[in-house]
Amino acid sequence: MSNITVVSCAILGASGHGKVIAEIAELNGFTEIHFYDDRWPELARIEHWPVSGNSDTLIKRVHNYANIVVAIGHNVTRMNKYRTLFEQGACCLPLVHPSAVVSRYAKLGYGTVVMAGAVVNPFSCIGKGCIINTAATVDHECMIADGVHVSPGAHLAGAVEVAEATWLGIGCHIKQLIKIGSNAVVAAGSTVINDVLDNQTVVGVPAKPICPKE
């Protein structure tokens, strides 16, 4: 008789991002990974992992899994999926890659994923369903709301505030004490030295708002 304990994790979204999350789950001791994706049954596998159903199937099986992670890059869509899962009583614990450094004084919300090489420093608070991507850094006392994506190599100085569903692009830099509104976008490689409004997209060094076309 086998002595191996099966600990199952479900991942909603069979994507490249999902593959990264699957490996992090395995590194955290999950021994069985099941993907769910709305392209099922046409999509039956992703690499060596099975795709076991679609979103509706997962909703019916939420209590079968020790953890469920939504691997969808679009912030609003990801949070809507999490809200549905929460309503059904799903367990959506944060996942942290073993090479990431998360202070014991930081807080991570349900469903948040911290990727390889990322750093979250003391007294920062990361909301639910966030992505702190590869080698990103979040310095002391930052307040990151639900559904934010901090892209690979993005760096936040101390006491930055980021509201819900905002996207901080790859390699961007955010000056200390900056406030960034909800549903905003900071373009890749930008340096933010002024506050960013809700729904605003900023680009450049220093970052400036893109004016909407007439």
Task: Tell me the catalytic residues.
Answer: 140
Cβ(36)–Cβ(90) under 8 Å? no
Q: What is the DSSP code string of 7-67?
A: -EEEEE--SHHHHHHHHHHHHTT--EEEEE-TTTTT--EETTEEB---HHHHHHTGGG-SE
Return phi, psi of residue 186, to 5°: -105, 115
Helix residue ranges per DSSP H, 73-188: 75-87
Radius of gyration of the chain (CA): 18
Both structure tokens of 130: 């966030």
Phi and psi at 202, nearest 5°, equal -120, 145
* CA dihedral for 104, 89, 75, 114, sign (positive or negative): positive
Place of tokens 């549903």: 183
Angle, alpha carbons 77-149-117 (nearest 5°): 135
